């Protein structure tokens, strides 16, 4: 049960707006209950039961699904004998002195060669410093935990083998619940920069990995691997994270971001709020997304100007749209239609998708800065999801251009090709 005072506090932070009509979809996502009524009690929000059921029916015989199925089962089987993961085993201690606080390093920050000790670090946009993936920080464990939990929960759903559910639950208990190993529900020390700052607003985006966990928990709802008391404690943990995102200095700064970070903030706080039973928070964020994100960040021609300035502009354009699509799905759970909303001058999710579709099959001609034009995962997901959102066979055709080279993606186990 979410405390009334907590809900009131969070609601005071997120701005209110006029509600819009809900998108008509089948099956129906019903607020914080998600798709439970249409999915045998499984409380998912982004993983639609009709999509998963379609894939489950095809999994044994559809050759196009075998690469993704093989990759998923290989990861799930490996996860049975590795882990669990925890924030308390990193080799560095956060500035707070509490090893239960998550800690990571900004991805594009490097030692300054002009300084004997390399401090303070300097930024190289788009160039990943491998130091961030070491045991000094928590990002590698967070990534591994979320990927393993997702693979295990999918393996449980598709095979019915309780071993997978039991192992996924073990990972979740260690990361979120056990007093000795749990993560505190904050990202105060996310994306720190050595010699500059012990944590930044940008670190909130590290929480994208937890979306996989929330959706995976829905698939685990039919298992007894987690008790009702443990499920309640998990809801409390995510409620506390929502409170931190809404009220902390770092959370507020991330909310104020005017690029992909702001879009991801809205999606993350909404997803976590729904899981925690805070429907009003998700509804409010989805409602204001039109005027606080789409209008200022989406150009009338469909481009995302803030992302086009990056050295990885193609990646960041699709990366931002993916989060916007997630929020549109969450919005449909709370009666807000973002899929079909459009400003007076044409700014919308639809126009942004059309802009990206203009480069389908010719991404190598993308005229903006991009360090790696061979990366097509983002294009594949945007076109695949867009085809379903607007019943668009042209987008389905665009997605098909990238299906073979992305055949191993777990996306293929959660989202089938569009079929009218």
Helix (H, G, I), strand (E, B) or coil at 370: strand
Q: Which neighbouring-strand residues pair with 197?
A: 193
- First CA to last CA across the chain, in angstroms? 41
Instruction: Give helix 279-289 / helix 260-276 axis angle, nearest 10°.
Output: 160
Tens of pLDDT along 331-346?
Answer: 999 999 999 999 999 9
* Residue 238: pLDDT over 70: yes
Which strand (E) or helix (H) includes residue 11? helix 4-13
What's the rounded Cα separation, in Å, for the pair 173 and 177? 5
* DSSP designation for 400: H
Tens of pLDDT along 139-191?
Answer: 999 999 999 999 999 999 999 999 999 999 999 999 999 999 999 999 999 99
Output the pLDDT for position 16. 39
Going by C-alpha positions, the residue among 166, 188, 236, 220 that lies closest to residue 87 is: 188
What's the rounded Cα separation, in Å, for the pair 61 and 82? 30
Output the pLDDT for position 26. 75
11 vs 418: which has the higher pLDDT? 418
What's the rounded Cα separation, in Å, for the pair 328 and 145? 26
Strands (E) across 243-394 are located at none
Q: Are 102 and 137 in contact (CB under 8 A)?
A: no
- In this prediction, residue 10 has a pLDDT band, given cuts at 50, 70 and 90, of low
Q: Could you tell me which residues come within 8 angstroms of residue 296 by beta carbon, excluding any fewer than 6 positions away?
A: 258
Output the pLDDT for position 420. 86
What's the rounded Cα separation, in Å, for the pair 151 and 410? 8
Instruction: Round the average pLDDT of the chain to a whole number and report it.
Output: 94
Report in angstroms the alpha-carbon separations of 64 from 70, 121, 397: 11, 45, 16
Q: Which neighbouring-strand residues pair with 192?
A: 105
- The pLDDT of 50-67, averaged and rounded, is 97
* Residue 200: pLDDT over 90: yes
Q: Tell me, yes or no, if the pTM score tops 0.85.
A: yes
* Residue 307: pLDDT over 90: yes
Residues in the chain: 420
Tens of pLDDT along 389-411?
Answer: 999 999 999 999 999 999 999 99
Instruction: Give helix 260-276 / helix 228-247 axis angle, nearest 10°.
Output: 150
In terms of Cβ atoms closer than 10 Å to its own Cβ (0-12, 13-18, 19+), residue 290 is: buried
Helix (H, G, I), strand (E, B) or coil at 86: coil
β-pairing, 122-123 vs 109-110, is antiparallel
What's the rounded Cα separation, in Å, for the pair 84 and 82? 6
For the chain, percent of residues with pLDDT exceeding 90: 93
Tens of pLDDT along 72-85?
Answer: 999 999 999 999 99
Output the pLDDT for position 1. 54
* DSSP designation for 312: B
For the chain, percent of residues with pLDDT exceeding 70: 94
Output the pLDDT for position 112. 96
* Residue 4: pLDDT over 80: no
């Amino acid at each position: 049960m979410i405390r009334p005072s907590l809900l009131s506090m969070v609601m005071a932070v997120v701005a209110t707006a006029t509600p819009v009509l809900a998108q008509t979809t089948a099956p129906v996502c019903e607020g914080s209950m998600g798709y439970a009524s249409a999915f045998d009690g499984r409380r998912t929000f982004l993983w639609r039961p009709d999509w998963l059921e379609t894939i489950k029916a095809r999994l044994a015989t559809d050759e196009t699904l075998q690469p993704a199925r093989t990759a998923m089962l290989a990861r799930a089987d490996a996860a049975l004998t590795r882990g669990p993961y925890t924030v308390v085993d990193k080799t560095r201690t956060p500035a707070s002195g509490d090893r239960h606080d998550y800690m990571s390093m900004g991805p594009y920050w490097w030692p300054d060669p002009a300084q004997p000790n390399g401090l303070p670090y300097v930024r190289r946009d788009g160039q990943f410093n491998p130091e961030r993936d070491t045991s000094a920080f928590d990002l590698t464990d967070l990534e591994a935990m979320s990927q393993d939990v997702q693979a295990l929960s999918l393996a449980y759903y598709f095979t019915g083998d309780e071993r997978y559910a039991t192992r996924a639950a073990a990972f979740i208990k260690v990361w979120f619940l056990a007093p000795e190993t749990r993560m505190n529900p904050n990202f105060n020390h996310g994306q720190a920069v050595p010699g500059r700052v012990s944590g930044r607003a940008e670190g909130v985006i590290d929480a994208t990995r937890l979306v996989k966990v929330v959706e995976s928990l829905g698939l685990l709802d039919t298992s007894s691997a987690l008790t009702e008391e443990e499920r309640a404690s998990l809801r409390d943990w995510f409620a506390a994270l929502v409170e931190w995102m809404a009220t902390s200095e770092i959370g507020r700064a991330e909310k104020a971001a005017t690029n992909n970070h702001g879009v991801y903030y809205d999606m993350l706080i909404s997803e976590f709020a729904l899981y925690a039973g805070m429907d009003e928070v998700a509804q409010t964020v989805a409602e204001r997304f039109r005027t606080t994100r789409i209008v200022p960040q989406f150009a009338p021609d469909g481009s995302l100007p803030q992302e086009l300035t990056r050295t990885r502009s193609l990646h960041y354009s699709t990366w931002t749209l993916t989060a916007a699509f997630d929020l549109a799905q969450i919005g449909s759970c709370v009666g807000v239609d973002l899929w079909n909303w459009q400003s007076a001058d044409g700014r919308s999710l639809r126009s942004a998708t059309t802009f990206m579709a203009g480069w389908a099959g010719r991404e190598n001609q993308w005229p903006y800065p991009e360090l790696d034009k061979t990366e097509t995962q983002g294009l594949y997901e945007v076109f695949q999801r867009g085809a379903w959102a607007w019943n668009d066979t042209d987008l389905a055709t665009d997605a098909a251009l990238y299906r073979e080279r992305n055949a191993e993606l777990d996306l293929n186990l959660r989202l089938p090709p569009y079929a009218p």
